[in-house]
Amino acid sequence: MMGAGKTTLGRQLAERLGYTFVDLDEYLEQREGCSIAQLFAAGGQEGFRQKERQAMESVVQEFEQAVVATGGGTPCFFDNMAFINQHGTSIFLDVPSEELTQRLLLTNLSQRPLLAQKSEEELKDFIVKTLAERLVFYKQAKYTVSGKRYNIGRLESLVKP
């Protein structure tokens, strides 16, 4: 889920493993030459999700050993969760909705198309609702790590060959 720490932890994990780190949103922005918000505006969520899937397939082909931080919605479209599990070791960072809300309030919400223009109360409601809808996909991850803080050594032990 957005705000769970995928990028921060992904960078640390890749460094410890000696792998390449790929933030799928950043990869997609570079590939398409525009921001995630612009991609959403141009093609709506459906168009964005199609480009996101194509980018994910390209990452698998381009990098032999990588830690990939997907967007929070990536596992929830097409057969993306099955694709992720087929091509790697997936970890669901299970952070309580209250913590996600607090973390996201500290970011620039206008850069997140699904959160732009939301008040604090609307953000809280959105996080609770969206997390509940996405859990069915997130729980398909090979591993779930719960809490507000994570032990990077534990994450490393889950994926180390």
Tokens 């500290």 — which residue? 106
> Does 6 carry a binding-site annotation?
yes
Q: Is residue 82 part of a domain?
A: yes
Question: What would the pLDDT profile of 58-117 be if each residue is shown by its tens digit?
Answer: 999 999 999 999 999 999 999 999 999 999 999 999 999 999 999 999 998 888 888 988
User: Looking at the 3D structure of the chain, how many domains does it have?
Assistant: 1
Give the tokens for residue 155: 């994450």
Distance CA 69, CA 24 (A): 6
Terminal Cα-to-Cα distance of the chain (whole angstroms): 26
pLDDT of residue 110: 85
Confidence grade of residue 147 (pLDDT, cut at 50, 70, 90): confident
pLDDT of residue 160: 81
pLDDT over 90 at 38, yes or no: yes
**Whether the Cβ atoms of residue 92 and residue 138 lie closer than 8 Å to each other:** yes
Domain containing 24 equals 6-155
> Does 49 carry a binding-site annotation?
yes
Confidence grade of residue 150 (pLDDT, cut at 50, 70, 90): confident
**Whether the Cβ atoms of residue 158 and residue 91 lie closer than 8 Å to each other:** yes
> Does 134 carry a binding-site annotation?
yes
Q: Is residue 59 part of a domain?
A: yes
Question: Nearest 5°: phi and psi at 152?
Answer: -65, -30
> Does 7 carry a binding-site annotation?
yes
Q: Is residue 103 part of a domain?
A: yes
CATH number where 67 lies: 3.40.50.300
pLDDT of residue 144: 96
Mean pLDDT taken over the chain: 95
> Does 5 carry a binding-site annotation?
yes
The pLDDT of 45-52, averaged and rounded, is 97
> Does 82 carry a binding-site annotation?
no
SS3 146: strand
Please give the torsion angle defined by the CA atoms of residues 74, 132, 115 and 90, in that order, rounded to the nearest 10 degrees.
-30
Q: Is residue 160 part of a domain?
A: no
Question: Residue 141 has what DSSP assignment?
Answer: S
